[in-house]
Amino acid sequence: MERKSPVFTAFVYACAILLAAVILAPLAWLFVMSISPAADLAAKPLRWWPQAADFSRYGQLLSTAQNSAGAAFTASLRNSLEVAGMATLAAILLAVPAGWAVSRTPSVGWSLSMVIATYMLPPVALSVPLYMGLSHLGLLNNVFGLALIYLTILAPFTTWLMKSGFDSIPREIEAAAMIDGAGLFQTWRIITLPLAAPVVATSALFAVLLAWDEFFYALLFTSDQRAKTLTVAIADLAGGRVSDYGLIATAGVLAALPPVLIGLVMQRALISGLTSGGVKG
Amino acid sequence: MLKSIGTTLLGAVFVGGLFVPHAFAETTLNALFMAQAAYSEADVRAMTEAFTKANPDIKVNLEFVPYEGLHDKTVLAQGSGGGYDVVLFDVIWPAEYATNKVLVDVSSKITDDMKKGVLPGAWTTVQYDGKYYGMPWILDTKYLFYNKEILEKAGIKAPPKTWEELGEQAKIIQDKGLLKTPIAWSWAQAEAVICDYTTLVSAYGGDFLKDGKPDFQNGGGASALKYMVDSYKSGLTNPNSKEFLEEDVRKVFENGDAAFALNWTYMYNMANDPKDSKVAGKVGVVPAPGVAGTSEVSAVNGSMGLGVTAVSKHPDEAWKYIEFMTSQATQNQYAKLSLPIWASSYDDPAVTKGQEELIATAKLGLAAMYPRPTTPKYQQLSTALQQAIQESLLGQTTPEDALKTAAENSGL
Amino acid sequence: MSGTWMTTRAWLLMLPLLVIMVAVIGWPLVDTVRLSFTDAQLVGTAGNYVGFDNYTKMLTSSNFTRTLSTTTWFAVVSVAAEMVLGVLAALLLNQEFRGRAVLRGLMILPWALPTVVNATLWRLIYNPEYGALNAALTQLHLIDDYRSWLGEPGTALAALIVADCWKNFPLVALIALAALQAVPRDITAAALVDGAGPFNRFRFVILPYLAGPLMVALVLRTIEAFKVFDIIWVMTRGGPANSTRSLSILVYQEAFSFQRAGSGASLALIVTLLVTVLAVAYAALVRKTAGSAA
């Protein structure tokens, strides 16, 4: 073991505290803003802790009374859930066969590389034809249309992760099942998928995070409560026309909650996914 | 166009709608408004509720976007089969919307009573090429707001009548240590800065266009920008103005951090509301000043209208909704934040009560409203001007050069 | 089972994925190429063939060159800072101290925060009149007057970069940390015995283990940074005086605000080409430094 001088130990602790502060301070402030009365947020000098915590904005945004601001927010929350859910499910359904194929037949792997390379394309390069195409199909401002587009963002990643997952499952186990007369899909059901379940879960969570975060396509292709997602709703609030900063902060807290919880719970799996697949920035 | 597919889909949606257990065959309208303070979201929702109560067979879905997104959203939604039926549009867009067939011509629906009853200045908001593309809804211009208490402390008897005087008074306030930077504007790189600039252009007697070609780089247009730059450089203007939108200006003014502020009508009653404002009861309002020898007062036409989109499947219901929203009764009821378009409302005690000062100012300001240029390429022109103004404020280039470049990049 | 059947089956299993990708990405890309040679409007006219007009117009406009340099600056500085901060944080987290597990757990938070929420949060922090940054710096007597962080060209881009770094350096840190933990203990111990100083130990013993994973992070982050749209859109919309306008925002303006689909498409393809060249160059570099990592 390396000998550690007290000075070095103190230095490590100082750095650790600094790092913790850098990470936590902005997040803590977001939460404090969400519970501070408007007057406190406009005070000079600024009041760092509210005199009385005010949680009313959470109620306001989560209320579902018809035609209220809360209804608009909860609608976007629902849209985000629907779009992310559908796109993730579809991305897994595509990724399992494709990932397995590439894992077991590496000679087709180049096509997966092509699929992954689409990640380089800036969305603006596809946006005009996609806009016109969705318009022709009547899928503008529609959760299915948006989910279809998200699918092409998620599927390359889920496929890559699934491929890595299948790589670690020995072919011999599958071969044994096949010799016993099981077909391909039966082998998957009985042998492969149960073994790959953790990878499926990780891929799905990744996909949800990616879909939840997307903004550009949602900004262009949705226009109202029928399809508008959370990210767009928050950008609208932050646009400078809402004077209650606390309300903006509250919306931010609510939108951040699901991905942050996923992140905390699934930390280990996410990191191993990141290092093997190298996903998301 | 594959409109038929859209129609079929929409039809399918409607058939689906019939299975919903409702007594009526409902018509659903989608309406696009902006998230703002004058006719706040809550107001628009309340007005709409009153409409749906009176018309139970019509359902209205409301959508609010910030002003900055209003134009792009309206245009982008044109492509979707189930786009908006009713959209709020700014005075600067009818040219483009008419040319690109975003809005339908509603000239035939404008009755003589409407023509007579609505103020002439309001009508310019919705007209292009002699046709009507909607009903005016928000009649608005920018006024000069001042903090009575600060002016009193500074020994200033009357608010400024000219822009020069504004600078002098601000200097007094600054010298007496009452405020570091007494004037607040909305000069962010956005349409807001164009509204302030236009107010000054009107004061200096400038022109945006002459024979369809840019003319703001000459005469009054150049003087207006020079005034802004001088005011900024002298330190009389809050330097943060260059990232302010109207709501930021209001916040600063309500916090007592500005002696003067240029803003829309809505600020009067909001800044006078003790619940959120520290300057309640001290708010003065006068028309934006003039320039000695050129103008008495100045004003920008910042009105907005409601129109029916070309993709609407229910233009009749949509118009009914617009009629309701722009009706004198509705407008009078919500006159505290946005003044009515109807001439006779200004003599109605129910409207004027408690805001006599604002009404008196409005009579002068609204009469002086100066238009921003009417051209289908307005967005490009405005973008070029915003850049020119900001570059001049930041000292990256001289006002003259900046405006010349803007004229070249205006697309006209 | 014959190899041909295996391959055929593999293609069949890939088919759904490939069909979707071609339909939703391949076709629009081809169509963008077509559009870029026309003067098509977003709504209305389909446009006529105009040859390379759009390209020459876009490439020679001062808007493009300026936006390109803004975007490059943003990408280079923010990615470099994320790499350095990320590795430093990883080295720290690789030390033993109490609370290390908790701190590692916290690192995931900024990364999990949606980009738009992050941008909103920092926009509030930078608010010139009521923002936390101004308040904190004034109360610590580091500045005398409140400043307009997002309103000055000198600070606006830097402010955006800080916000972007805060969200993304923890990701680099976590990737680097995972790699660090793969460094065998006895190798570092041996280097220590050999009398290698801390810098040399990092450079010759640890860095080789980090190079592969870090290159992957570098490539991904650079591509992301070049395509940047969300954070700028929410925080500054490209202002003040267009000093923070990125290429993606320029394309949006051209194609959607001004509705010139044709020239917007040509601009978008120029951006695509730039990113592709960058990625290919990087990929070559990755192969060289890390061998198997890709």
Query: For residue A147, which of A210, A197, A202 has the smallest C-alpha distance?
Result: A210
Same domain, B320 and B388: no
Q: Which residues of chain B does C238 touch, with a Cβ-Cβ cutoff of 8 Å?
A: 189
**Contact flag B49-A67 (C-beta cutoff 8 Å):** yes
- Cβ atoms C288, C221 nearer than 8 A: no
The verdict on C128 touching B (C-beta cutoff 8 Å) is yes
Do B308 and B288 share a structural domain?
A: no
Distance between CA atoms of residues C58 and C67, nearest Å? 11
Whole-number Å distance between alpha carbons of C136 and A48: 9
Gap between the Cα atoms of B95 and B380, Å rounded = 13
Q: How far apart are the first and last CA of chain C?
A: 31
Is residue B217, in this structure, part of any structural domain at all? yes
Is B251 in CB contact (< 8 Å) with chain C?
A: yes
Q: What whole-number distance in Å separates Cα of residue B236 and Cα of residue B259?
A: 10
Give residue-wise pLDDT tens across range C235-290: 999 989 999 999 999 999 998 888 888 999 999 999 999 988 988 888 787 777 65
Shared-domain flag, residues B150 and B212: yes
Q: Which two tokens stand for residue B228?
A: 């802004």
Cβ within 8 Å, pair C97-A16 = yes
> What 8-state DSSP symbol labels residue A45?
S
**A254 lies within 8 A of chain B by CB:** no
- CA-nearest residue to B389 within chain C is C241
- Domain encompassing residue B317: 3-140+302-367
pLDDT score of C1 more than 80: no
Torsion angles phi and psi, residue C96, rounded to 5: -100, 120
> Is B53 inside any structural domain?
yes
Residue B107 and residue B49 in one domain? yes
Residues in chain C within 8 Å Cβ distance of B387: 241-242
CA of C145: which chain B residue's CA is closest?
B180
User: Does residue B172 share a domain with residue B128?
Assistant: no
Q: What is the CATH number of the domain that holds B25?
A: 3.40.190.10
From the CB of residue A194, how many other CB atoms can be counted at a distance below 10 Å? 10
Q: Are residues B94 and B134 in the same domain?
A: yes
B79 and B181 part of one domain: no
| Radius of gyration for the alpha carbons in chain B, expressed in angstroms and rounded | 22
Contact C237, C150 (CB under 8 A): no
Q: CA geometry: angle at C258 spanning C256 and C262, to 5°? A: 75
B240 in contact with C, Cβ within 8 Å: yes
Q: CA-nearest residue of chain C to A275?
A: C175
Confidence band for C29, pLDDT divided at 50, 70 and 90: very high
pLDDT at residue C75 above 90?
Answer: yes
- Quote the minimal CA–CA distance from B101 to chain C in Å: 9
Q: At what angle do helices A230-238 and A245-265 cross, to 10 degrees?
A: 150
Chain B residues close to C130, C-beta within 8 Å? 251
Determine whether the interchain pair C175/A271 forms a contact, defined as Cβ–Cβ distance below 8 Å: yes
Say yes or no to pLDDT of B272 above 70.
yes
Q: Does A138 contact B247 at a Cβ distance shorter than 8 Å?
A: no
Lowest mean pLDDT among A55-64, B135-144, B157-166, C14-23: A55-64
3-state helix, strand, coil in chain A (%, to 5): 75, 0, 25
**In terms of domains, do B152 and B291 share one?**
yes
Cis amide linkage into residue B182, ω under 30° from 0? no
Instruction: Return the partners of chain C (3 or more C-beta pairs < 8 Å).
Output: A, B
Chain A residues in contact with B31 (beta carbon < 8 A): none
Residues of C in contact with A184 (CB under 8 A): 9
Taking 50 as the pLDDT cut, the residues of chain A under it are: 1, 277-281
| B87 lies in the same domain as B173 | no
Q: Chain C interface, mutation test: which of B2, B73, B243, most C Cβ atoms within 10 Å? A: B243
Q: Is the pLDDT of residue C44 over 70?
A: no
Please check whether residue B188 touches C, CB under 8 A: yes
| Cα distances (angstroms) measured from residue C249 to each of A153, A216, C20, C27, C253 | 20, 10, 27, 23, 6
pLDDT tens readout for residues B177-203: 999 999 999 999 999 999 999 999 999
Q: Does residue B376 have a cis bond before it (omega within 30 degrees)?
A: no
Residue of B nearest to A228 (CA): B63
Picking from A44, A141, A142 by the largest number of B CB atoms within 10 A of its own CB, the best residue to mutate is A141
Measure the CA–CA gap between B105 and B108, rounded to whole angstroms: 8
| Per-residue CA distances from C36 to B339, C112, C239 (Å) | 47, 37, 27
Q: Considering only alpha carbons, which residue of chain B is nearest residue A127?
A: B76
Query: What value does the mean pLDDT of chain C take?
Result: 89
Q: How many CB pairs under 8 A join B and C?
A: 73
Instruction: Give residue A67's pLDDT.
Output: 65
Same structural domain, B317 and B181: no
Please report residues of B whose CB lies closer than 8 A to that of A231: none
B158 occurs within a structural domain = yes
Give the number of other Cβ atoms within 10 Å of residue C136's Cβ. Answer: 17
The rounded distance, in Å, linking the Cα atoms of B387 and B380 is 11
Q: Please name the residues between 49 and 88 in chain A that touch chain C, using a CB distance below 8 Å.
A: none
B362, B363, B368, B374: CA torsion to nearest 10: 70
Which whole number is the average pLDDT over B351-369? 91
Q: How many residues does chain A have?
A: 281
Which residue's entry shows tokens 């550690």?
A4
Could you tell me which of C118, C109, C227 has the C-alpha nearest to residue C174? C109
Chain B interface mutation, best of C243, C250, C254, highest count of B Cβ atoms under 10 Å: C243
Q: Do C259 and B100 touch (CB under 8 A)?
A: yes
CB A146 within 8 A of CB C21: no
Task: Decide if pLDDT at B17 tops 50.
Answer: no
Distance, in Å, from the CA atom of B264 to the CA atom of B279, rounded to the nearest integer, reads 17
DSSP type of residue A1: -
Q: What distance lies between CA B253 and its chain's CA centroid?
A: 19
What does the mean pLDDT of chain B come to? 89
Same domain? For B105 and B204 the reply is: no
So what's the pLDDT on residue A237? 83
pLDDT per position as a tens digit, C87-100: 999 999 999 899 99
> Taking residues B45-68, what's their average pLDDT?
90
Is B14 at the interface with chain A, CB within 8 A? no
Find the closest chain C residue to A244 by CA distance. C124
Predicted confidence (pLDDT) per residue in A59-93, tens digit: 988 987 766 778 889 999 999 999 999 999 999 99
Is residue C257 a contact partner of residue B71, using CB atoms and an 8 Å limit? yes
**CA–CA gap between residue C249 and residue C228 (Å, rounded):** 8
Which chain B residues contact residue A69 at CB under 8 A?
A: 41-42
The arithmetic mean of pLDDT across residues C32-58, rounded, is 86
Distances (CA, A) of A118 to A83, A133, A156: 21, 19, 8
Q: Which domains does chain C have, with CATH numbers?
A: 61-290 (1.10.3720.10)
Determine the residue among C100, C121, C237 to mutate to test chain A binding: the one whose Cβ has the most chain A Cβ atoms within 10 Å. C121
pLDDT digits (tens, 9 = 90+) for C118-144: 999 999 999 998 899 999 999 999 998
Residue of B nearest to C154 (CA): B394
Q: Which chains border A (3 or more CB–CB pairs < 8 Å)?
A: B, C
DSSP per-residue letters across B133-199: -SEEEE----EEEEEHHHHHHTT--S--SBHHHHHHHHHHHHHTTS-SS-EE---STTHHHHHHHHH
User: And the tokens for A30?
Assistant: 């977001």
Distances (CA, A) of A71 to A74, A85, A146, B20: 5, 21, 21, 20
∠ at Cα B385 (B392, C248), nearest 5°?
100
- Do residues B275 and B322 share a domain? no
CA atoms of B62 and B60, how far apart (whole Å): 6
CA dihedral angle for residue A120, residue A126, residue A127, residue A131, rounded to 10 degrees: -150
Residue B28 within any structural domain of the chain: yes
- Is B336 inside a domain boundary? yes
Percent of chain B scored above 90 by pLDDT?
A: 72
A173 close contact with B: CB closer than 8 A = no
Among A8, A273, A280, A28, smallest CA distance to A153 is for A280
- What is residue C43's DSSP assignment? S
Task: Collect all residues of chain C within an 8 Å Cβ-Cβ radius of residue B251.
Answer: 129-130
C212 touches chain B (CB under 8 A): no
Asked whether residue B372 is assigned to any structural domain, the reply reads: no
Nearest-CA neighbor of B31 among B260, B308, B255? B308
CA pair distance C261, C245, nearest whole angstrom: 19
Nearest chain A residue to B33 by CA: give it: A224
> How many domains does chain B divide into?
2
Looking at the DSSP bridge assignments, the partners of residue B88 are B306
C38: helix, strand or coil:
strand
For C239, which of B76, B390, B396 is closest by C-beta distance? Answer: B390
If DSSP codes are grouped into helix, strand and coil, which group holds residue A69? Answer: helix
Per the domain annotation, does B327 fall within a domain?
yes
CB-nearest to C109 from A12, A124, A263 is: A263
The stretches of B214-346 forming alpha helices (DSSP H) are 219-233, 246-254, 267-271, 315-326, 328-333
Among C58, C94, C120, C209, the strongest candidate for a mutation testing the A interface, having the largest count of A CBs within 10 A, is C120
Give the range among A21-35, A42-56, B41-55, C194-208 with minimum mean pLDDT: C194-208
Alpha carbon distance B79, B244 (integer Å):
33
Contact A128 C265 (CB under 8 A): yes
Alpha-carbon gap, residue B186 to B254, rounded angstroms: 15
* CB–CB contact A121 C29 (8 Å): yes
- Look at residue A86 in the predicted model and tell me its pLDDT: 97
Is residue B169 included in any domain, yes or no? yes
Instruction: Find chain A residues with C-beta within 8 A of C223's C-beta.
Output: 119-120, 281
ipTM value: 0.90
